[in-house]
C-alpha cells in the first residue's frame, strides 16, 4: 500500500498531496495522517470539479443542461456506492479515499470534454 502511495504522490498533478504525504506523521506512515492528506486533495479536486461543472452548464442550452444535470446525478450515485470501503479496516478506508480522488479526477476529464 505504501508503494502505491509513493507512486501516486509523485504525480506532478498533485503537488499539495505530495507535500502532505512527505511531511509529518504521513511521512512516517501514520494511516490517519495519510487519509487526511488524501481527503484534503479530494476536497481540492472536488472544488475544481464544481468549477468545471458550472462552466460547462453555463455554456449549454436548456436541453444540454438537462442532459448534464441527469448525467451528474447518475455519476454521483455511482461515485457514492462505488467507493464504499469493503470493511472497517484502515486499508479499506484509505482505498475508499483514493477511489474518490480517482473518480473525481476522471469526472473532471469527462466534463472538460462535454459537448
Q: From residue 15, how far is each of 50, 54, 55, 94, 114 by CA, in Å?
A: 20, 25, 24, 19, 27
What is the rounded distance in angstroms from the CA atom of residue 5 to the CA atom of residue 19? Answer: 12
pLDDT tens-place string over residues 19-53: 999 999 999 999 999 999 999 999 999 999 999 99
User: What are the extents of the domains in the chain?
Assistant: 2-112
13 band by pLDDT with thresholds 50, 70 and 90:
confident
Res 114 pLDDT > 90: yes
Asked which of 93-97, 103-107, 110-114 is least confident by mean pLDDT, the reply is 93-97
CA 27 to chain centroid, in Å, comes to 21
Q: Are 103 and 82 in contact (CB under 8 A)?
A: yes
Q: Which residues contact 101 (CB under 8 A, 6 or more apart)?
A: 38, 41, 42, 45
Q: Look up the CATH number of domain 2-112.
A: 1.20.1270
Pick from 104, 101, 103, 102: nearest CA to 37: 101
Looking at residue 14, its pLDDT comes to 86
pLDDT tens-place string over residues 46-85: 999 999 999 999 999 999 999 999 999 999 999 988 888 8
10 band by pLDDT with thresholds 50, 70 and 90:
low
Amino acid at each position: 500500500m505504501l508503494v502505491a502511495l509513493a507512486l501516486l504522490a509523485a504525480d506532478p498533478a498533485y503537488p499539495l498531496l505530495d507535500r502532505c504525504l512527505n511531511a509529518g506523521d504521513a511521512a512516517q506512515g501514520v494511516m490517519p495522517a495519510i487519509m487526511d492528506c488524501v481527503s484534503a486533495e479530494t476536497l481540492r479536486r472536488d472544488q475544481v470539479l464544481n468549477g468545471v461543472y458550472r462552466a460547462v452548464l453555463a455554456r449549454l442550452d436548456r436541453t444540454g443542461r438537462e442532459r448534464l444535470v441527469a448525467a451528474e446525478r447518475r455519476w454521483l450515485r455511482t461515485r457514492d456506492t462505488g467507493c464504499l470501503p469493503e470493511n472497517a479496516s484502515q486499508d479499506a478506508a484509505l482505498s475508499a479515499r483514493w477511489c474518490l480522488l480517482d473518480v473525481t479526477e476522471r469526472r473532471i476529464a469527462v466534463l472538460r470534454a462535454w459537448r
